[in-house]
Amino acid sequence: MTDRPLTLMAVHAHPDDEATGTGGVLAQYAAEGIRTVLVTCTDGGCGDGPGGVKPSDPGHDPAAVASMRRQELQASCDVLKVSDLEMLDYADSGMIGWPSNDAPGSFWQTPVAEGAARLAELMRHYRPDVVVTYDENGFYGHPDHIQAHRITMAALEMTALTPKVYWTTMPRSMMQRFGETMRELGDMPEPDPAEAAAMAEIGLPDDEITTWVDTTAFSSQKFDALAAHASQGENIFFLKMGKERFGELMGMETFVRVKDATGAAVPENDLFAGLR
């Protein structure tokens, strides 16, 4: 045993990803006295600009967007009581197929070994007991999410550390409820069959989820953290739900455990099962 606090490291692609997928566990574990480290890989410059200006619109300024989103990220971290924020500050690559995918200096164009070496340095410094990132498809195919997965798994190989490692996911039952809620609130038309089939492949069957963490008690913080990123139009749907509905739908955070040296039984309800 040492005096070093238990440490969670979450590796995310963009400002606001920390709130959507892991806001609950970041808030909950911070409240329990666990050190929470957030690594954000990109500057978010391909996000919406002031007034909802899209990257393809005239007047979209990636540098200004990145500066605004950094302030929003810090506000979100303050809400979630994140102990340490580290930004790798790679240029946002944008959605799959965007010209920004090919831009020199974009995260997607960065050699995995380069990004992994920088992340491995942070891992050696913080010595996380638990590491959370995306699966190999970045949950839904976003280039920067895929790259975050790649550098995280490569960084772990570069260190002698043996943390528990988790990939964020969502059970298919929850995905179905999410779609129903979006249509109920008028934010999503009925998808065509091809889109519906693609959506049905996101997430995992419920029985393949290894870890279910009920963070409902911290859903208000999670909601407020997402609200800190109000410049991003895709977040408006979540905020329209109101805190109570948001907590019902987004209070359970789910993961797949992919590395473990503790022998803790699954399914589990705590990322730190076997460590305390």
Q: Within 61-142, where are the H helices?
A: 62-80, 112-126, 138-141
Q: Tell me the per-residue pLDDT of 250-267, one tens digit each, with 9 for 90 and over.
A: 999 999 999 999 999 999
Q: Give the count of beta carbons closer than 10 Å to the beta carbon of residue 261.
A: 10
CA atoms of 91 and 109, how far apart (whole Å): 10
CA atoms of 102 and 96, how far apart (whole Å): 10
Q: What is the per-residue pLDDT for 74?
A: 98
pTM here is 0.91
Angle at CA 44, nearest 5°, toward 38 and 46? Answer: 160
For helices 62-80 and 17-31, what crossing angle results, to 10°?
A: 20
Per-chain mean pLDDT for the chain = 91
> Where does residue 128 rank: exposed (0-12), middle (13-18), buried (19+ CB within 10 A)?
buried
Q: Tell me the per-residue pLDDT of 118-149, one tens digit each, with 9 for 90 and over.
A: 999 999 999 999 999 999 998 888 999 999 99
Q: Tell me the per-residue pLDDT of 192-251, one tens digit each, with 9 for 90 and over.
A: 566 555 555 678 889 999 999 999 999 999 999 999 998 887 767 788 888 998 998 899
Residue 23 has pLDDT above 80, yes or no: yes
Q: Is the dihedral of CA 62, 68, 71, 73 positive or negative?
A: negative
Q: What is the per-residue pLDDT for 241?
A: 84
Percent of the chain past pLDDT 90, that is, above it, reads 69
Report, as an integer, the average pLDDT of 51-56: 85
